Amino acid sequence: MELLLLLAIPALLAWCVIYLRFSGISGCLVASLLAGTVLGHPFFHISIVTLDRLILGVCIALFFGYQIRGWNQPRVWSPADLLFAIFILAVVLTTVIHPSSDDRVGSISKLIFFFLLPAVLYLIGGQVTLSPKQLRWMFATFAVFGIYLSLTAVAEKLSWTWAVFPKYIMDPKFAEFLGRGRGPLLNPAANGILLTLSLSCGIMPVLWYRNLGRLSVLATVPVYLVGIFCTLTRSVWLGGGMVLFGIVVALMPTRWRLAMAMAVLGCGSMTMMVDIKSLLTFKRDRNVTVEQMSESASLRPILAMVAWKMFQDRPLLGFGTGQYLANAKNYLFDRSTDLPLEKVRPYVQHNMFLAMLVENGLVTLIPFCFLLIYWTLWSWRLWNSMQLALEYRQLGLVSLSLLSAYIVNGMFHDVLIFPMINAYMFFIAGSVRNCAVHLTANHGRRQDYS
């Protein structure tokens, strides 16, 4: 085995050089994201060193090398950069100022791996040079990655252990969500966000080709949809459906959009009215009954009440990053409400905004919400900038798709604790910031983007 690894290293390095040559630093960052997703900590690690963190170290070294040579985009500052800095500093502040608890190590780990390292991707992605060809490589890479995630989700749903890689995905010791398409991140909602991102990237080539090429691209769409279905997660279905509908409406001729919107909304409303009960009560996890599944929706008002009571005590700075469970137990004996608060003792918050409000306070939540608005406006502006190359406009549409999946799933899950999800969000946001800020600085001159 050691000999095979030694023989494989030169070939791997050669392919890495070729990949970097065509995709640039942005491609290296994408490789870091994919490695962190598929070959992350559960697959391989030496202490805190994982493959994706090694690749990210290479990206940082390349970035500074490019900076010295003047190959990166010149830094054009935006008010959102200050907002992002305030957000990250607020997360750091609300992590370190609170007294130590039983899970202090987990708190610091969440700060580093869920916020600070993704912030590096935002900063690098916001300045590296992005060409249309490099964006095509990015979209194609995410699209192929989504095919892998979809096929893996199907194999998980059907218990085809032989078809699942990495093997830890089907390991019974990771019992939570077993039987659903939870993917290499071991969470169906996180897997659904990545599948939705891949779906949007997989549709983008439909505008690059004609006739047979377009048919080939459209033939992959059902694969992503089957993967999204196999997550058996309602928020994923909602986010994926919204993104697919939005992309179809954005790409079709204007005169057809109203009819399309009316037809989809009508069909969706009829489906909800006819089959709403089965949507709320169906068996998903292998080790969880239908009754337990149907109870999950009733827990959210209770979790919201606990969050409200915790917020009232510490509205500005919260209880500290990763400190929700350690402190929520002190509020479960409150008898000023008729809700059975004790039922949510083992559960984290099921809403990322409430989770951030409780753990990091208003000082963090407010800039975070404004950042989401900034990123949405930048993405919308890119898509509607007709003077730009198509690939830059498509980056705006992909970003809107990811934001939709991120926010929709974040309304029902604390996506902030999903490994790698913030890294994807911050990287795409940084890339959009790169194009949008330079577009503003150069008054939309096309030559700056081609």
Instruction: Say what the pLDDT of residue 315 is.
Output: 93
Least confident of 97-111, 290-304, 347-361: 290-304
In this prediction, residues 297-316 reach a mean pLDDT of 88
Instruction: Say what the pLDDT of residue 361 is.
Output: 94
Query: Residue 288 above 60 pLDDT?
Result: no
If one compares 273 and 448, the residue with the highest pLDDT of the two is: 273
The CA distance from 43 to 45, in Å, is 7
Tokens representing 276 are 């709403």
Least confident of 63-67, 257-261, 413-417: 257-261
The answer to whether the CB of 192 falls within 8 A of the CB of 228 is: yes
Tokens representing 122 are 């935002």
Least confident of 135-139, 253-257, 339-343, 400-404: 253-257
List, in order, residues 6 or more apart from 280 with CB less than 8 Å away: 294, 297
- CB burial string 337-355: b at 16+ within 10 A, e below: eebebeebeebebbbbbbb
The answer to whether the CB of 192 falls within 8 A of the CB of 240 is: yes
Angle at which helices 117-125 and 421-441 cross, to 10° = 30
Share of the chain above pLDDT 70, in %: 81
Chain center to CA of 97: 28
Confidence of residue 46 (pLDDT cuts 50, 70, 90): confident
In this prediction, residues 374-400 reach a mean pLDDT of 92
Least confident of 81-90, 139-148, 223-232, 286-295: 286-295
Confidence of residue 436 (pLDDT cuts 50, 70, 90): confident
- Summarised one tens digit per residue, pLDDT across range 174-197 is 878 888 989 999 999 999 999 999
Confidence of residue 420 (pLDDT cuts 50, 70, 90): very high
Confidence of residue 107 (pLDDT cuts 50, 70, 90): confident
If one compares 13 and 330, the residue with the highest pLDDT of the two is: 330
- CB burial string 255-275: b at 16+ within 10 A, e below: eeeeeeeeeeeeeeeeeeeee
Q: Which amino acid is at 28?
A: C
In this prediction, residues 32-39 reach a mean pLDDT of 91
DSSP state of 234: H
Instruction: Say what the pLDDT of residue 283 is.
Output: 53
Share of the chain above pLDDT 90, in %: 43
- Summarised one tens digit per residue, pLDDT across range 53-92 is 888 888 999 899 888 888 887 777 888 889 999 999 999 9
Beta partners for 46?
A: 49
Instruction: Say what the pLDDT of residue 449 is.
Output: 36
Instruction: Say what the pLDDT of residue 204 is.
Output: 92
If one compares 249 and 356, the residue with the highest pLDDT of the two is: 356
Q: Can you give the residue ranges of every domain in the chain? A: 1-72, 82-128+303-450, 130-279
In this prediction, residues 359-374 reach a mean pLDDT of 95
CA geometry: angle at 195 spanning 188 and 58, to 5°?
100
DSSP string computed for 178-219? TTS--TTTT-HHHHHHHHHHHHHHHHGGGGT--THHHHHHHH
Confidence of residue 8 (pLDDT cuts 50, 70, 90): low
Averaged confidence pLDDT in the chain: 84
If one compares 353 and 386, the residue with the highest pLDDT of the two is: 353
If one compares 384 and 49, the residue with the highest pLDDT of the two is: 384
The CA distance from 198 to 140, in Å, is 9
Instruction: Say what the pLDDT of residue 443 is.
Output: 46
Query: Residue 18 above 80 pLDDT?
Result: no
Confidence of residue 287 (pLDDT cuts 50, 70, 90): low
